[in-house]
Amino acid sequence: MSVFVPRRFQKAGRPAPTRHSIHPLLAARWSPRAFAPDETVSSDQLHSILEAARWAPSSFNEQPWRFVVGTREEPEFLSALQDLLMEGNSWARAAPVLILSAYTPTSGRDGSRNRVALRDLGAAEENLVLQAFDLGLVTHQMGGFDVERARNLLPGDLEPGSMIAVGPPGDAEELPDRLKEREERPRRRRPLDTMVSLGHWDDFRDPDDG
Ligand SMILES: Cc1cc2nc3c(=O)[nH]c(=O)nc-3n(C[C@H](O)[C@H](O)[C@H](O)COP(=O)(O)O)c2cc1C
């Protein structure tokens, strides 16, 4: 199925080849590695994407998510966040904004472990990411960073979630060949019937069944 992509998402460039109709914003979101070198994220844009995260749903409305944000306004702090990135994610140093997401693992109600805190953080991140794309920015979430060091830098008992690179889209042609090739790979997902069991407990098709 071809997806109609509104002009404001087109700069991001690589819509999902969906089999059923989905919102164009969802199809437009992807995880690029190229950021425009001389452009930045305005304060309004930054606050807008964080506000989007704020309005995510969460269990008991506990909002366990926290975001540590580095921008080019504070180069030393941005650099400290960049230093957490694993070698394979060095391309993210080009992003004008880096966010370390984290969550409070215990419930504010009774101090018990909040089993769904990481889930809630994921929902908030998705809000943030989609809002960014709606503003013409791109994002890339990363689990590849020094989690132990991040845990030590974070206050209290906050648990690291992911690092999120945010910025205006760049030109994949400017990336090293190894990364450029990854940007050009077809976008893929497992078929729906390998992840959905409709009216059964276990009717998931084996992905190898073709
Ligand atoms: C929690 C999380 C961690 C990820 N970690 C990395 C990472 O360390 N490095 C990387 O290049 N991409 C990372 N990704 C991006 C995924 O590889 C990407 O979302 C996936 O391949 C689907 O591609 P798409 O986002 O372009 O649809 C991560 C994504 C998520 C949600």
Considering the domain boundaries, does residue 74 fall inside one? Answer: yes
The band of 7, judged by pLDDT with boundaries at 50, 70 and 90, is low
Query: Is 60 exceeded by the pLDDT of residue 27?
Result: yes
Ranking 2-16, 57-71, 171-185, 190-204 by mean pLDDT, the lowest is: 2-16
Range 179-197 average pLDDT: 94
Q: Which residue has the higher pLDDT, 14 or 98?
A: 98
Distance between Cα 182 and ligand 1 center (Å): 12
Asked if pLDDT for residue 10 goes beyond 80, the answer is no
What is the percentage of the chain residues whose pLDDT exceeds 90?
Answer: 89
Structure letter (DSSP) for residue 98: E
Atom of ligand 1 nearest to the CA of 162: 1
pLDDT tens profile 41-67: 999 999 999 999 999 999 999 999 999
* Nearest atom, ligand 1, residue 32 CA: 26
The answer to whether residue 106 sits within a structural domain is yes
**Domain span at residue 68?**
31-175
Q: Whose CA is nearest to atom 27 of ligand 1?
A: 30
Look at residue 5 and tell me if it is in a domain.
Answer: no
Alpha-carbon distance of 76 to 73, in angstroms, equals: 9
Q: How far apart are CA 25 and CA 6, in angstroms?
A: 9
The CA-atom distances, in angstroms, between 151 and each of 5, 59, 64, 159, 161 are 39, 23, 16, 6, 10
The reply to whether 24 falls in a domain is no
Task: Report strand pairing: 159-167 vs 138-142.
Answer: antiparallel
Please report whether residue 189 resides in a domain. Answer: no
Q: Whose CA is nearest to atom 19 of ligand 1?
A: 31
**Residue 81 placed within a domain:** yes
Cα(142)–Cα(131) distance, integer angstroms: 18
Report the pLDDT value the prediction gives residue 165, as an integer from 0 to 100.
Answer: 98
63 lines ligand 1 (CB under 6 A): no
The domain that contains 145 carries what CATH number? 3.40.109.10
C-alpha 53 – ligand 1 centre gap (Å):
18
Nearest to 44 by CA among 135, 114, 123, 174: 135
Give the whole-number percent of the chain exceeding pLDDT 70: 94
Q: For residue 167, give the nearest of 131, 123, 136 by alpha carbon.
A: 136
- Among 22, 31, 188, 190, say which to mutate for ligand 1: greatest number of ligand atoms within 8 Å of CB: 31
The whole-chain average pLDDT of the chain stands at 94
Give pLDDT, residue 13.
73
Count of domains for the chain: 1
Q: Is 148 inside any structural domain?
A: yes
Comparing 10-19, 27-36, 38-47, 62-71, which segment has the lowest mean pLDDT? Answer: 10-19
Instruction: Give kind and range of the element (H or E) at residue 160.
Output: strand 159-167
Residue 160 lies in a domain: yes
Closest residue by CA, ligand 1 atom 10:
142
Mutate to test the pocket of ligand 1, among 140, 178, 179, 182 (most ligand atoms within 8 A of CB): 140
pLDDT given for residue 208 in this prediction: 79
For ligand 1, atom 7, the nearest C-alpha belongs to 142
Compute the distance between CA of residue 18 and CA of residue 207 in angstroms, rounded to an integer: 17
